[in-house]
Copies of this chain bind each other. A is one copy, B any other.
């Protein structure tokens, strides 16, 4: 690791940390979107035959982990640790998956930033020499998230135009020092940033300040420009948040609109009627571990800055009048 100066938030890894395996399992609606053929599996039934959507979410999560480990050429016996988290109260999808996997487990919570949070922490563990292979996963389910954060689906509440649609899907990444063709070379840790947005139906705007904070720290720490990347992937700012972030970054001297794409804007087509785009831990998880992993293997992208953003609210904080803080963790992936 290159020693950091005080105030720097970007870590540069000494060892070669490989993104050795990746898998994306997506729901039925996501399977009808433009990225359908980049997923490893598309569900035929979003209940997966389970009695509750929460139980289905655990199965979704497990399928992604099992597929990623298989694809990496590893087995559960050679994975040293499992890192995961999700949107449900007490991160039960991750913890109940860990109950099945029987791996040493560290639960993380970063809301929708969990995918890059887990890949960053895994890389720190690998660079530190504690393991040679670590599995990371996160996911979300439209039906569980809606009833926990907003309203039961049965109420058929009308959604405002700024609302995003929680992705049903889970993504998993197997990080390893053993080899691979894509490396995770740097990571920029997020801070909690809050500009006072209180509308839980406008997450993009709530997370935009954290995204701008982490992107600015990344470019300042590394001296890189947006154009040094083939792709800056965010998730899930949606259409509203993406516009804010690109505009503010341009003002700060980092024009990034030409290389920027947001997972929330990529996953559904316009005729799927999702308003401001996809959201949920599973959104960037399935886009990154599906489309982006494939594109990098095929060398269509050689250098990607991937940044997942999370809104750190709870239904209780919203009811108590708190604003919505955000966080964003960024990782650099290179072929």
Q: Which residues of A contact B (CB under 8 A)?
A: 1, 3-4, 6-7, 9, 11, 51-52, 54-55, 77-78, 80-81, 85, 88-92, 95-96, 98-99, 102-111, 117, 121, 124-125, 127-130, 148, 189-194, 312-317, 320, 322, 325, 327
Contacts and interface: CB of A to CB of B under 8 A. Distances in A.
Contact of A92 (B4, B7, B193, B317): B317
A1 B128 contact: yes
A107 B311 CA distance: 12
Contacts of A313: 90, 92
B105 A108 contact: no
B192 A78 contact: no
A319 B127 CA distance: 41
A68 to B, nearest CB: 19
Contacts of A102: 191-192
Contacts of A92: 312-314, 316-317
B106 A107 contact: no
B111 A109 contact: no
A110 B107 CA distance: 6
A94 to B, nearest CB: 8
B107 A108 contact: yes
A33 to B, nearest CB: 27
Contact of A89 (B7, B90, B121, B190): B90
Contact of A55 (B89, B90, B129, B320): B320
Contact of A105 (B54, B85, B327): B327
Closest 3 pairs between A and B when the two form their complex, measured CB to CB = A128-B128, A104-B189, A90-B314
Nearest to A86: B109
Contact of A315 (B1, B89, B312, B314): B89
A105 to B, nearest CB: 6
Contacts of A104: 9, 189-191
Nearest to A114: B107
Given A103-B191, A105-B192, A322 B96 contact: yes
Contact of A189 (B106, B314, B320): B106
Counting chain B CB atoms within 10 Å of each CB, the highest count among A6, A315, A325 belongs to A325
Contacts of A52: 320
22 contacts: A1-B130, A6-B78, A7-B77, A54-B316, A55-B320, A88-B314, A89-B314, A89-B315, A90-B109, A90-B111, A90-B317, A95-B312, A98-B191, A98-B192, A99-B312, A102-B192, A104-B189, A107-B117, A108-B109, A121-B121, A128-B129, A128-B130
A6 B90 CA distance: 30
Contacts of A78: 6
Contacts of A7: 77
Given A106-B117, A108-B109, A109-B90, A99 B54 contact: no
A95 B314 CA distance: 11
A106 B95 contact: no
